[in-house]
Amino acid sequence: MGENTIITESDLRHILRRTGFGPTPKDFSKADHLIGQTRGVAADYVLGLNRKVLKAKGKENLDVHNKWVKHLLKGKTPFIDKTVLFWHDHFSVSANVVDIPEAMTLHLINHYTYALGNFKDYVKAINKDAAMMVFLNTVDNEKAIPNENYPRELCELFTLGVFDLNGVENYAQEDIVQIARAFTGWRVEDDGVPFLNTNQHDYEIDFPERGPKAIFDNAHGFPPGGGSFTTSGEGEAEIDVVIDLIFDHLDSDGMNTVARRTAFRLLEFFAYANPDKTIVDEVVSGSSFDSSWNIEALIREIMVHDAFFETAATPPFVATTKKSVKWPIDYVVSTMRLTRTKAKGKFLILRGGQELELVDHLGNMGQIIGDPPSVFGWDWEAGWISSSTLLARYTFARDIINNRESGAFKPKRLMDLSLTDPGEIADAVTDVLGVTDQLTSIERDHLIDYLTDNGASPVLDLGDEDVLNTKLHGLFALVMQSPAYQLH
C-alpha cells in the first residue's frame, strides 16, 4: 500500500477534505478523473492546485482576519491555505498581542511564501519576521541580559521539541542561554524590515564570562565544545548559523530531530494524533526531508502513506480506528462552502439567527485565526471539544439554516427537492455535507426517525413550505450538529 495504490471515490473525497475545505461538488467534479488512478497521481494533483501569496492588508487586526477568512471561503487555493493554517499554529503569533496589523500582513506573506518550501529557510525567515520579533520579545533582547523568550520557543516549539520521540531531553538550559546571545540586538524598522543594532549585540569579547558561543556541548551529534555559531563571524550571521546547527541535531536514536518532529506534527495535522515512530521515519526517509528540508515533498509522502487514509475508515468503528476532530476554521469554512452560504460585507456577518460576525462564531468555537491563545497555538483533537465549543458549533449550524429571508441558505440549490422518500432525503442531505459514508445504519435510522416523526409521516412533501422549513432545514442542522460531522 502506498504510492501505487488505486484510489476510490471515497478516498478522493477524503483527500480533498483533508487538504482543502469541503469538497464542494465543483471541487469534486474537477478532480473526479483521479478515481481509479494511483495515490501518487492524486497527490500530484493536489500539489499542482493553484497557489497564491495572500496579501491580507487592513487598518485593524480584524480586517486582516476577515480578509484571510474571506480568502479561505473563496477556496481558489485550498491546499496552500490548509497548509498555512498548520504553520500558523506551529509558528504561533497572536495579532492582538503584537497589535501591528501591517506586521501581521507581512507575517502571512511569510507563511504563504514558505509554507511548501524549504523548512530551514522558513525558520530563518521566522527569525526575522517582524510580528514574531515583537511577539516573542526579540526586539527587547539586550546584550546586558539576553532575553530567552524567542530562543526557548524556537527550540521547544518551532524545531526540536523539549523531548524527542523517546522522551529524552533535546537541549539544556545552557543552550537556550547561548542561543539568546545570538538574537541580542535584533530590531525591526517601522516598515517591518529587520536589522541588527550592533550596539545591543552580545559580542564574545564584551562578555567573556558567558563562554564561547556554542550549543549542544558533546551531545546530540556534536563534539566536545559543541557547535559554534560564530563560524561565519559574529553578528548578523549568528542567527542563521544557529538554525543550521539546530537542524543538524540528532535525537537519542541518532535520527535527525527536527525532521522527525516536523513530520510527526504534519502527520498529526493531515492524519491523526500520535502516529507511530515507524510511520514518522517512513515519511521522512521517503521524502529525504532530513536533508532536503522540502516541505512539499514531505507532505506528498504523507499523502500517499496508509496513515493518511486511516481516518477515512467507515463504520463500524473499532477501538483502533483513527479519527481527528475538525478545527473550527475548517468546520466553518467547509460548512459555508458546502451549503453555499455567503457572509455579508466587510465584517463577514452570517445573516441568520443572531446575525453574528464570523469572527464571533469562530471565537466561540475556540479558534480565531491570527489570534491563537498562546505561543503553543491551539489544543487540537479533544481540546476542541467541550460543552461550550459544541454549543458554538450548534449555534453556527442553526444560524446557517435560519438564514431564509435573505435567501442565503437555499436547499433547492443543493439537492433535489422532488424527493419524497425519507431515506433518500436523508442520504441527499448527508451527501451535501459529505458524511454519508461516516454514519452507522443506526444513525441513519435516527435521521429518518426525525424526518418521519418516528414513522408517523412516511412520505414527505418538500414542496410544502412548512415541511421544507421545519424538516429539511432541521435535518441540515441536525447533521451539521451530529457527532460524525465534527470528525474527519
Interface residues for another protein in 290-319 (CB under 8 A)? 317-319
Among 388, 410, 412, 458, binds another protein (CB under 8 A): 388
Nearer to another protein, 303 or 397 (CB): 397
Which residues in the 351-370 window bind another protein by CB under 8 A? 353, 364-366
41 binds another protein (CB under 8 A): no
325 binds another protein (CB under 8 A): yes
Closest CB 329 distance from another protein, rounded Å = 14
**Where does this chain touch another protein (CB under 8 A) — which range of 17-25, 32-40, 202-210, 384-392?**
384-392
Residue 194: beta bridge partners? 188
As a whole number of angstroms, the distance between CA 277 and CA 255 comes to 11
Is the N-terminal amide bond of 78 cis, ω within 30° of 0? Answer: no
Which residues in the 448-467 window bind another protein by CB under 8 A? 449-450, 453-454, 466
**DSSP state, 345?**
T
420 binds another protein (CB under 8 A): no
Count of other CB atoms within 10 angstroms of residue 189: 9
Q: Residue holding cell 529557510?
A: 121
Q: Residue holding cell 504523507?
A: 302
Nearer to another protein, 48 or 319 (CB): 319
Closest CB 152 distance from another protein, rounded Å = 7
Kindly write out the interface string for residues 173-192 of this chain, putting x where it contacts another protein by CB under 8 A and - elsewhere.
xx-x----------------
Which residues in the 399-418 window bind another protein by CB under 8 A? 399, 401-402
Which residues in the 139-168 window bind another protein by CB under 8 A? 140, 142, 144-145, 147-149, 152, 156, 162, 167
Among 109, 125, 390, 419, binds another protein (CB under 8 A): 390
Which whole-number Å values give the CA distances from 18 to 14, 26, 310, 384, 448, in the listed order? 6, 16, 12, 17, 28
447 binds another protein (CB under 8 A): yes
Which whole-number Å values give the CA distances from 57 to 51, 89, 179, 365, in the listed order? 18, 20, 33, 25
As a whole number of angstroms, the distance between CA 431 and CA 450 comes to 17
Backbone angles phi, psi at 156, to 5 degrees: -70, -45
CB 375 within 8 A of CB 153: yes
Element (H, E) at 275: none
Nearer to another protein, 58 or 474 (CB): 474
**Where does this chain touch another protein (CB under 8 A) — which range of 119-127, 234-242, 254-262, 322-330?**
322-330
443 binds another protein (CB under 8 A): yes
Which residues in the 193-252 window bind another protein by CB under 8 A? none
Among 166, 231, 232, 470, binds another protein (CB under 8 A): 470
Residues ≥6 apart with Cβ < 8 Å to 486: 325, 326, 331, 385, 390, 393
481 binds another protein (CB under 8 A): yes
113 binds another protein (CB under 8 A): no
Closest CB 479 distance from another protein, rounded Å = 9
Residues ≥6 apart with Cβ < 8 Å to 250: 220, 221, 256, 257
As a whole number of angstroms, the distance between CA 252 and CA 66 comes to 44
482 binds another protein (CB under 8 A): yes
